[in-house]
């Protein structure tokens, strides 16, 4: 089906509350009676709580409906074909991100080796944390509205140092869920400990000193840094999608049985792997599978193809701790995704 773009500010079907349900007004201002259009609208399952709902008059519109939720946020329902196309583009972009990571990590290491709490060093620390800690980037607006935090909005009081010298982040993450993450990376720990000495309770932890004053790190600055070292199309979220894909590949390889078990056994293994990845990322399994794991990894597993040979060669219990081992695993994941 060829999709056409729809502007919700233009011609639209409107939803109206009617008794316990809804009625609809067509683009001509008359009550909508076309059963095919009504059936399509019912199939969209637009949340009843949405207000100011506008619905695309075409079945092939790239955007099918918009509305405002209880929190005042504008929400969008896209055509399935549009979502599938965007997902394909997203995962292809993330594959390119994975290919660029070794060079980007070298740049991050060089910037972390600089002295002081300058912008380059602090932004490099943020990038390293995204790479090894599976953090959401966070946003200032979301923290103010919801009281939950991501990397750039974590406060000084959310961070401590344990007896082994690790930096421990303990903060309310998305949906208010407590997230605890220990970081042992020496270069990052050095930056975080220096920031802990400078920042006060109530202040965001990540900040740099420039022009004789402190500047809190923003998500836009982190993304600009990533554009510089990885590519203009990539953002902080790509770290989570890439790592979700790699973690799933490792979990599925560990579950792989050379005797090729039944389809039911493979589905159970897939479910366990996705749950494991969801634990790392702090998402639900459903969101994890749909948004953070390249479906080609699961498809390859169903065909009996995994990165098991590489894991057996490395032999380590946790192959993602050592940087050299991790990059070998990531190369194997890219080869699997490329069908090699």
* Banded model confidence at residue 144, pLDDT cuts 50, 70, 90: confident
- Does residue 63 surpass a pLDDT of 80? yes
User: Mean of the pLDDT values across residues 230-259?
Assistant: 90
320 vs 237, more confident: 237
- Does residue 319 surpass a pLDDT of 70? no
- Does residue 197 surpass a pLDDT of 60? yes
Does this model's pTM top 0.75? Answer: yes
Please, which residues bridge with residue 77 across strands?
65
Structure tokens at 167: 């930096």
- Does residue 320 surpass a pLDDT of 90? no
Cβ(254)–Cβ(172) below 8 Å: no
* Rounded-to-integer distance, Cα 95 and Cα 26, Å: 43
Angle at 85 between CA 67 and CA 269, to 5 degrees: 100
* Banded model confidence at residue 260, pLDDT cuts 50, 70, 90: low
| Closest to 299 measured CA to CA, from 226, 248, 247 | 248
Cβ(55)–Cβ(25) below 8 Å: no
User: Mean of the pLDDT values across residues 290-302?
Assistant: 95
Domains, the chain, with CATH or none: 13-78 (3.30.66.10), 115-230 (3.90.15.10), 236-338 (1.10.132.120)
- Does residue 259 surpass a pLDDT of 60? no
- Tens of pLDDT, residues 71-121: 888 999 999 999 999 999 999 999 999 999 999 999 999 999 999 999 999
3-state secondary structure of 188: helix
* Rounded-to-integer distance, Cα 70 and Cα 89, Å: 31
Which residue has tokens 């060829």? 2
Give the CA-trace dihedral at 112, 117, 120, 121, to 10 degrees. 10
* Rounded-to-integer distance, Cα 321 and Cα 334, Å: 19
Quote the pLDDT of residue 258.
Answer: 56
Cβ(135)–Cβ(129) below 8 Å: yes
* Rounded-to-integer distance, Cα 12 and Cα 80, Å: 19
Quote the pLDDT of residue 129.
Answer: 98
User: Mean of the pLDDT values across residues 174-203?
Assistant: 94
- Does residue 317 surpass a pLDDT of 70? no
Give the CA-trace dihedral at 249, 253, 257, 263, to 10 degrees. -10
């Amino acid at each position: 089906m060829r999709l056409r773009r729809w502007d919700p500010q233009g011609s639209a079907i409107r939803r109206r509350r009617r008794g316990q349900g809804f009625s609809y007004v067509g683009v001509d201002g008359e009550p909508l009676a076309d059963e095919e259009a009504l059936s399509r609208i019912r199939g969209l399952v637009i949340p009843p709580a949405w207000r100011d709902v506008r619905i695309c008059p075409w079945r092939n519109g790239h955007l099918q409906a918009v509305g405002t939720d209880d929190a005042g946020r504008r929400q969008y329902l896209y055509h399935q074909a549009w979502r599938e196309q965007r997902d394909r583009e997203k995962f292809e972009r993330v594959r390119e991100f994975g290919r660029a990571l070794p060079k980007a990590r070298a740049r991050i290491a060089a910037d972390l080796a600089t002295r002081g709490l300058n912008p380059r060093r602090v932004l490099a620390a943020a990038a390293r944390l995204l790479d090894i800690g599976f953090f959401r980037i966070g946003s200032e607006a979301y923290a103010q509205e919801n009281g939950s935090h991501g990397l750039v909005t974590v406060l000084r009081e959310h961070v401590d140092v344990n007896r082994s010298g690790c930096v421990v982040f303990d903060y309310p993450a998305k949906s208010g869920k407590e997230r605890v993450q220990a970081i042992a990376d020496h270069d990052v720990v050095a930056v975080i400990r220096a920031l802990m000495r400078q920042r006060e309770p109530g202040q965001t932890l990540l900040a740099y000193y420039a022009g004789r004053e402190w500047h809190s790190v923003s998500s836009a600055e982190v993304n600009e840094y990533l554009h510089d070292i990885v590519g203009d199309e990539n953002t902080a979220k790509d770290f989570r999608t890439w790592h979700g894909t790699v973690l799933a590949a490792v979990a599925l390889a560990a579950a792989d049985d050379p005797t090729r078990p039944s389809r039911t056994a493979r589905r159970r293994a897939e479910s366990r792997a996705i749950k494991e990845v969801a634990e790392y990322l702090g998402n639900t399994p459903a969101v994890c599978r749909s948004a953070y794991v390249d479906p080609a990894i699961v498809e390859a597993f169903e065909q009996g193809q995994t990165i098991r040979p590489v894991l057996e060669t490395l032999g380590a219990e946790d192959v993602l701790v050592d940087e050299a081992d991790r990059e070998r695993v990531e190369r194997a994941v890219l080869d699997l995704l490329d069908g090699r």
